[in-house]
């Protein structure tokens, strides 16, 4: 299938929080629509308008710059900002709420996507079959290429950090996240090549769908296999860090592994498989319209790569 693309206005992301607003408290919650702007930049503009430190502006997750995205931000009410006077290019205030606590990373339940992809597609029957497979079986849970920066610039940042260069706090965080994401993708890619990314193997760490809960499986019985097929549990891969031995396939990345351990970055796990929620599609000559939702930490580009894959 040939590469097909979506224009920014046809790539819409809608964030869904995992809690209800209290209706009062010291934080304004702003439902923002942004176009052509990244989340951190918008947070800094809101901080400037409210005359508060940028670190005190909260958001649940980073959203794609090359899309129309709707997401929540929290801003302290210390200076009683007039949000009706907010004037930032590419930013529109859609709704204002009140809540007692700052919005924290990962506080959203899911992101919903509406995407129109245009270009040459493969045979409609093959595409329908591929989409149905994605709807019922999920896709490999790769970190998207945007995690690694334009032209891989964040990889260079991770190398600089691992070599001992002192970085500002936010760049250090990006470097660590980039290194762990790259290493995870290597682990996942090995399972994809052996066709086991969607199967639980003896000795695997297993992730419970929709949660951060993991457990080990020594032997795969019928019930474990059934739950895996039903997308209730998934095989999980290592997010490298201190305290857990890394697989041999990462031996050529010792500089990152040693830096992560030295920085006491806690090792964790991430599902190798991504469940695509409520996937619906409409296919017309020259275009494909998609509607679906993903849990937090997932990348829509991981879904799109499977649709446009020629393999």
pLDDT digit string (tens) for 106-134?
Answer: 899 999 999 998 876 668 888 999 999 99
Strands 27-35 and 205-208: unpaired
Q: Which ranges in the chain are annotated with CATH 3.30.2350.20?
A: 19-106
pLDDT for residue 155 is more than 70: yes
Taking phi over 0 as left and psi of -120 to 50 as alpha, with beta for the rest, 223 belongs to alpha
Q: How far apart are CA 233 and CA 46, in angstroms?
A: 40
Q: Does domain 139-274 have CATH number 3.30.2340.10?
A: yes
pLDDT for residue 191 is more than 90: yes
For residue 158, the cross-strand partners are: none
Catalytic residue among 28, 51, 56, 64: 64
pLDDT for position 150: 86
Report which DSSP code applies to 266: B
pLDDT for position 78: 95
Residue among 6, 70, 77, 8 at smallest CA distance from 39 = 70
Beta-carbon contacts of residue 86 (< 8 Å; ≥ 6 apart): 46, 49, 93
Q: How far apart are CA 262 and CA 51, in angstroms?
A: 37
Taking phi over 0 as left and psi of -120 to 50 as alpha, with beta for the rest, 16 belongs to beta
DSSP 2-36: ---B--GGGEEEEEEESS---S-SSEEEEEEEEES
**Summary mean pLDDT of the chain:** 93
Q: How far apart are CA 155 and CA 159, in angstroms?
A: 6
Are 60 and 103 within 8 A, CB to CB? yes
CATH superfamily of 19-106: TruD, catalytic domain (3.30.2350.20)
At residue 2 the predicted structure's pLDDT band, cuts being 50, 70 and 90, is very low
Mean pLDDT across the stretch 69-97?
Answer: 96
pLDDT for position 66: 81
pLDDT for position 309: 75
pLDDT for position 3: 45
pLDDT for position 121: 62
In the block, which residue shows the tokens 């040459």?
120
DSSP 82-135: -GGG---TTEEEEEEEEESS---TT-EEEEEEEEEEES----HHHHHHHHHHHH
Q: How far apart are CA 178 and CA 156, in angstroms?
A: 10
pLDDT for position 310: 59
In the block, which residue shows the tokens 């250090």?
172
Mean pLDDT across the stretch 138-143?
Answer: 98
pLDDT for residue 6 is more than 70: no
Q: How far apart are CA 288 and CA 225, in angstroms?
A: 33
Q: Which ranges in the chain are annotated with CATH 3.30.2340.10?
A: 139-274
What sections of the chain are H helices per DSSP? 39-50, 124-137, 153-162, 169-193, 222-229, 254-262, 300-308
Q: What are phi and psi for residue 117, nearest 5 degrees?
A: -105, 135
What is the value of pTM for the model shown? 0.89
Is 56 labeled as catalytic in the residue annotation? no
At residue 236 the predicted structure's pLDDT band, cuts being 50, 70 and 90, is very high
pLDDT for position 311: 55
Residues 180, 186, 187: CA angle, nearest 5 degrees:
90
pLDDT for residue 7 is more than 70: no
């Amino acid at each position: 299938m040939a590469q097909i693309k979506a224009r920014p206005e046809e790539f819409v992301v809608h964030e869904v929080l995992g809690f209800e607003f209290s209706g009062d408290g010291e934080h304004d919650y702003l439902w923002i629509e942004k176009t052509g702007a990244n989340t951190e930049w918008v947070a800094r503009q809101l901080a400037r308008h409210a005359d508060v430190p940028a670190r005190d502006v909260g958001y649940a997750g980073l959203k794609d710059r090359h899309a129309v995205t709707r997401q929540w931000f929290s801003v302290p009410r210390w200076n009683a900002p007039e949000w009706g006077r907010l004037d930032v290019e590419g930013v529109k205030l859609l709704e204002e709420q009140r809540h007692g606590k700052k919005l924290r990373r990962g506080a959203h339940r899911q992101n919903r996507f509406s995407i129109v992809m245009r270009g040459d597609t493969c045979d409609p029957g093959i595409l329908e079959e591929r989409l149905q497979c994605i709807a019922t079986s999920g896709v490999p849970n790769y970190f998207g290429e945007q995690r690694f920066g334009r032209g891989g610039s964040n990889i260079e940042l991770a190398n600089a950090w691992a070599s001992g260069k002192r970085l500002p706090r936010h760049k250090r965080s990006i470097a660590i996240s980039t290194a762990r994401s790259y290493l995870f993708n290597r682990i996942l890619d090995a399972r994809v090549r052996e066709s086991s990314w969607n199967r639980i193997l003896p000795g695997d760490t297993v992730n419970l769908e929709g949660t951060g809960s993991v457990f080990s499986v020594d032997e795969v019985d019928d019930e474990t296999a059934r739950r895996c097929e039903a997308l209730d549990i998934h095989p999980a891969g290592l997010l490298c860090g201190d305290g857990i031995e890394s697989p041999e396939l990462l031996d050529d990345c010792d500089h990152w592994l040693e830096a992560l351990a030295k920085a006491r970055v806690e090792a964790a796990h991430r599902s190798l498989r991504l469940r695509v929620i409520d996937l619906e599609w409409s296919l017309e000559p020259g275009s494909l319209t998609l509607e679906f939702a993903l849990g937090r930490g997932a990348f829509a580009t991981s879904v799109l790569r499977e649709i446009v894959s020629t393999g």
